[in-house]
Structure 1
Amino acid sequence: METEDVAASVVAERKGTVLVIRLDKPERLNAWNAPMRARLLSLILSAGTDETTSAIVLTGTGERAFCAGQDLNEGKTFDGARSEMWIEEWRHLYNAIRRFEKPFVIALNGLAAGSAFQLALLGDIRIGHDAVKMGQPEINSGLVSATGFWIIREMLGLSRATELVLTGRMMEARECADIGLIHQLVPREEVLPRALAVAEELAAKPRTAFRLNKQRICAATQVVFDETFEAARQLHRQAFEAGEPQKVMERFLSKAGRTGA
């Protein structure tokens, strides 16, 4: 059974036939941990089989972040074995989004970093505003960007993936829009309404054609998806067994004054 805290951290409400899922932990920039990922996965799987749900819109609470990615308070406790379980959790979540055969729209209310950047790129359409930033800063936390490298390379090619993974820099909204990572830039207050409108527009498409198109998009990258997660499992185990990620996360949290659970 879900605890009240977890349910409150990932909330869902219906807007007509569209399910709006909101990451709701703004005091931590909506950074997610295992219970939040499990709750999000459960909502996505349920929506996929619910005939009354036509689409999903995923967003975050607050003006600062869609999601800052992995909650480092959780990550700093991992060892090699737990890191493998962690990668398996991501595989199930990413796979659920990839295989979701209805519209899946991302409403970027703010920062999308690391795993949140990756997950946002798995959505069908991304709506954002001028203050949004996106990127793969995992190297700065001592984390390997195995899955991040894969999805950025799929979207942007090897050169850009190499630069973003090794520098960890964050991209401004205009750059993201110029290279096709954000499909529409609108005023901040219009992000969620526009995302809902796009979700409804996509849901009105011929259903069989939409479903089969999404199946083909998923199938086209399935082999490399599977290879990526096998590599990620091995690489993260090596990194966490060496102890570097935990030390870097601990230093970051200490400087930021966020060492509490």
Structure 2
Amino acid sequence: MNASAATASSTETVLLRREAIPGGTVGVVTLNRPAKLNAWTHDMRTRLVEVFAELGADEDCRAVVITGAGRAFCAGQDLSETAAIDQSDHAAAEAWIDGFDVLYRAVRDIDKPTIAAINGVAAGSGFQFALLTDLRVGHAGVRMGQPEVRSGIPSITGIWAMWDILGKAKTIEFTLTAELVDGVEAQRLGLLTQLVDEDAVLDGAIALAAKLAELPPGAVQLTKARLREIDDAALTDAVEAAKKVHAAAYASGEPQREMDRFLSKRR
């Protein structure tokens, strides 16, 4: 099923449906702000956390697939929201990072396989979020990367999210050049698990989820718990560093100026 066709009539920013599979269901979560490339706001992230908690507690749900409506997976933060942070409001900048900490931990804490169906652009925090899923399915035309510095936003949690997949050299390249890579290169680098035809991304992700759902759930849960344990301290450190760095960045006024310049061009 095409995600954009399934969500076109809805005004909700996060949609949830359950796909029946042998022995249970796959929870299919759709980010649904297609006109904004599914860039998220505070309210959208809050709803997503609630959906993940619901699926995590659902015994019939054996795996979770996350995708985006329209032509993007998620373009990251909606800049019209963060551009309004005042230079003197350090608490607002820190609260913004805390919100992403909650979101990132919510998807990491699901004790079931999670798969991102990357149907288009995955950039900034949307790119980071995709890397926190267990596996990722995409097509050759997707664009993935970390363009945050172009908006005057330092990439701090992004470094943590990329480091174990890309290593130091490529992480530096992604954060400082702000360039996006296509699906073929993304698969070569390990950012995508599977590369399929554009019209098969969501179905491919659901099929992969169904396959993983056949695994003994206890073993999956314990394995995922250990995987989280390995880099949990690094995430905590990244979040604390991000709060300090972003507070300093916003105090300088540079992110606000760059975001306003970007938004002015779009207007």
TM range (shorter): over 0.9
The question of whether the paired residues in 2 share the 8 Å contact of 1:138 and 1:145 is answered with yes
**1-structure distance, mates of 2:131, 2:184:** 16
2:130 alignment counterpart: 120
Residues 12-60 of structure 1: CA deviation (Å, up to 9, x unaligned): 1111111111011111111000000000010001111111211111000
Residue segments in structure 1 that go unaligned for 5+ positions in a row = 1-5
Q: What is the alpha-carbon distance in structure 2 between the residues aligned to residue 208 and residue 40 of structure 1?
A: 25
TM-score if structure 2 supplies the norm length? Answer: 0.92
Task: Report the TM-score when normalising by structure 1.
Answer: 0.94
Residue number among 77, 82, 106 corresponding to 2:84 in the alignment? 77
Question: Which residue of structure 2 lines up, in the alignment, with residue 43 of structure 1?
Answer: 51
Q: Once the two structures are superposed, what CA deviation does each residue of 1:56-109 show, in whole Å capped at 9, x if it has no partner?
A: 1100011x2111100001010113221100100100111111111101110011
Partner of 1:14: 18
Once the two structures are superposed, the pairs formed by residues 13-162 of structure 1 within 5 Å of their partners are 13-16=17-20, 17-62=25-70, 64-79=71-86, 80-162=90-172
Question: Percent identity between the aligned chains?
Answer: 44
Partner residue, 1:3: none
Deviations 1:114-156 (A, max 9, x none): 0010000000110001110100000001101000011111211
Classify the secondary structure of the residue corresponding to 1:11: strand
Q: How many residues align?
A: 251
Structure 2 counterpart of 1:66, one-letter code: F
Aligned: 1:224 with 2:234: yes
Q: Matches of 1:30 and 1:226 in 2, distance apart? A: 26
* Residues 7 and 39, structure 1, Cα contact 8 Å, conserved in 2: no
Contact 1:55–1:199, Cα closer than 8 Å, also in 2 = yes
Shift in Å at residue 246 of structure 1? 0.7
For 2:214, the equivalent position in structure 1 comes to: 204
Partner of residue 181 from structure 2, selected from 146, 168, 171: 171
Kindly provide the amino acid, as one letter, of the partner of residue 15 in structure 2.
Answer: V
Q: Distance in 1 between matches of 2:67 and 2:80?
A: 22
Read off the aligned partner of 1:76 and give its amino acid letter.
A
**Secondary structure of the structure 1 residue equivalent to 2:56:** helix
Aligned partners of 1:69 and 1:205: how far apart in 2?
Answer: 32
Deviation at 1:7, TM superposition (A): 6.5
- Residues 112 and 135 in structure 1, CA contact (< 8 A), matched pair in contact too: yes
Map of 1:229-240 to 2, 5 A cutoff?
229-240=239-250
Point out 4+ residue stretches in structure 1 off by more than 3 angstroms.
none
Q: CA separation in 1, counterparts of 2:128 and 2:144?
A: 9
Q: Is the Cα contact below 8 Å between 1:20 and 1:56 reproduced in 2?
A: yes
In structure 2, stretches of 5+ residues that fail to align are: 1-9
